Amino acid sequence: MATEPLRIGTRASQLALTQTGWVAERLRTWSEDVAIVEVSTRGDLRQDTPIHRFGGDGVFVRELEQALLDGRIDVAVHSLKDVPTAATPGLEIAAVPLRALPFDVLVTGSAGLTLESLSPGAVVGTSSVRRVAQVLGARPDIVVRPLRGNVDTRLRRLDAGDYDAIILAGAGLERLGLVGRITEVLQPPRFWPAVGQGALAIQIRAADRRAHAAVLPLDDPPTHSAVRAERACLAALAGGCLAPIGAWSRGTATGKLALGACVLEMVGRTVSRLVVEEDVRDEDESPEGLGARVAAVLVGRGADRMLERMRDPAASATHPDGGTDVTGVTNA
């Protein structure tokens, strides 16, 4: 009797399908029969509403996780930065492939412009409070306006002249073959990416031996260790995917794992930030230990109070440039 195809679940956006196609191609190369199953998520269906208003963390992954639990799919492919740090019982992240560009990027309507060279009053599009805070921290003289939608939708609005520039995750443009649209890469220490940004999460049922064996070769151990540290830091800060927290972990020249994290607070157009950078202490410290230690240093410097103030609707509910909530993070 022929083995049933391994069913890979994905969101239906162009980027999600491209990412899942990459996974499927490699599994087929290893003689695994696969079928791609599209699953709609609440985050995709409600493009005109700030994310926190209809569910907050996990709005791009919950339906995929339920499809796994129900046995409708065998593997789910996520953008790791959308996956809550609290594991769903019965499921596990079995593989994290080699990371793509982990940083945010600026895309402008006029070639050659950077964040610093934008004219005063220029309009920049993003709905991520983490990005808004960092943009205004660098350029308090520009205007930041909300922008949701898939990558192609956002680029169309930029090209239509609705914005002078937009901020996107560089990995999305890289995977879609659109690196030529990148005007500037925004990276630490000036601009911190989301936890897990640029990485994929390959999720399966914890007890599914066939799926585990199939996807394990996709795992890149250095990437997996790095995102474990980032996610442990986020979990220890109790921030969630929507919090104004940035982090980036990577290997150093000496082979150690390093982690930097940034906590942001924005009240109106006034931005405060805390940054901590640490290396692993010794070979016995796990990525999770490094993440927890960085979080503890941040808390010792007041990060918990900053995050609590950002959760206060009176402090965070109004977009700095008028009228629209920005506390719901977009996913590209």
Active site residues per annotation: 82
Give the whole-angstrom CA distance, residue 273 versus residue 315: 15
Tokens at residue 275, please? 């940054």
Helix 287-300 × helix 221-236 angle, to 10°: 30
Decide: residue 11, CB within 10 A, 0-12 exposed, 13-18 middle, 19+ buried.
buried
Decide: residue 313, CB within 10 A, 0-12 exposed, 13-18 middle, 19+ buried.
exposed
Which helix (H) or strand (E) segment is 226 a member of?
A: helix 221-236
Contact 100, 81 (CB under 8 A): no
Tokens at residue 138, please? 């660098």
Distance of CA 329 to the CA centre of its chain: 9
Contacts 24+ apart (CB under 8 A), 18-21: 18/175, 18/176, 19/77, 19/79, 19/175, 19/200, 20/77
> Tokens 């999305």 — which residue?
172
Tokens at residue 115, please? 């964040």
Give the whole-angstrom CA distance, residue 114 versus residue 154: 18
Q: Which of 105, 261, 250, 247 is nearest to 171 (CA)?
A: 105
> Tokens 């491209």 — which residue?
18
